[in-house]
Amino acid sequence: MGINFWWARNDGMSGHAWLSVDDLRAIVDEMRAQGVEWDPERKEVSAFAIDDALRALASEPRTYVDPKLWADWLGFLGGAAENGGLVIR
């Protein structure tokens, strides 16, 4: 089982990510360790909220999250901020 994330504006070929439950848990734990809360029940996140989170998040992880996964996640969030936010399914 996993969770799909889509940029609000996407072409159907790019602007999406699929995360396993373990990867999502690692990312959420890292975000919390860096002072950014994540509500896994949310189905949409605005570009404004993503911009705020990106300003608070450091590129170097503080927890056990795979550094490559973290870097990819931050890049994906940057794209989401430029493309209207996130839709979570």
Q: pTM (2 decimals)? A: 0.93
Phi, psi dihedrals of residue 59, rounded to the nearest 5°: -75, -25
Answer whether residue 16 shows pLDDT above 80. yes
pLDDT given for residue 2 in this prediction: 82
Predicted pLDDT at 21: 92
67-86 confidence digits (pLDDT tens): 999 999 999 999 999 999 99
Copy the structure tokens of residue 18: 């699929």
The pLDDT value given to residue 89: 85
71: its two tokens: 């870097």
Query: Each residue of 24-70: pLDDT tens digit?
Result: 999 999 999 999 987 777 899 999 999 999 999 999 999 999 999 99
Determine the pLDDT at residue 46. Answer: 95
